[in-house]
Amino acid sequence: MSQNHIQHVIEKYRLYFDTVLADRIRNKKDKHRGRRKIRINEIDPKDYLSRDKPLFFCCDTIVLYLPYGIKRYILTAIEYEKKIAYARCYKNKSSLSSFDFLLRLTAFVDGKIAAVLLDNWIEFAKYFEEACRRLKIIHIFTRIKTPKDNAVDERFNRTIQEDFIQVHEHFESYLVFDLLIAANQILTEWLLFYNLERLHQILHYKSPIE
């Protein structure tokens, strides 16, 4: 018998020792009932853009499997049309990490984000959703098991892995020894090159900042 089945039985028959807790859980479910996720295949992201907020970012997570069973995470974001990119390393995958990432991304583009495209991972919930609400950023979801919905950021993830991670000999060793400040510093230096100097064919051989 699975844990989910046990939880289902507990909730269905309200088999809680603490009845106050049961009411709290039920009220929380009622609060969120009826909310429908906005899926990328159902809308045109350009409809959410405005003069004050002209940017639409696609976001994702790269999982790095390092020696000694260590895992580290790189949260990535790239603007859908202008290709302005941002990324940052984190020790764990949590909504607090994604919350920090969104605040930094917002500061990076001076608060001009209208919407973000994300998958359904747990790190993009709770605190991240609260940040989106406070910053008035629309959270658009990809469809489940449909990576092509976020093809723009998937391609950027490949660029990071091939042009940065595989090239920089010290990056992964920094992550193994928890030197995240140093790792993020060299990642930021590469992002400066990517945004300011790297020419993109899709941008008619201009840099994203141009």
- Cβ pair 144, 120 in contact under 8 A: yes
Cα Rg, the chain, nearest whole Å: 20
For residues 6 and 29, what is the distance between their CA atoms, to the nearest angstrom?
18
What's the pLDDT score for residue 29?
53
- Kindly report the CATH class assigned to 38-203: alpha beta
Tokens of 108: 């990076």
Q: Where exactly are the structural domains of the chain?
A: 3-32, 38-203
pTM to 2 decimals? 0.81
In this predicted structure, the answer to whether residue 63 has a pLDDT above a threshold of 70 is yes
Q: 96-137 pLDDT, tens per residue?
A: 899 999 999 999 999 999 999 988 766 677 888 889 999 999
In this predicted structure, the answer to whether residue 9 has a pLDDT above a threshold of 70 is yes
For residues 149 and 60, what is the distance between their CA atoms, to the nearest angstrom?
11
For residues 25 and 171, what is the distance between their CA atoms, to the nearest angstrom?
44
In this predicted structure, the answer to whether residue 34 has a pLDDT above a threshold of 60 is no
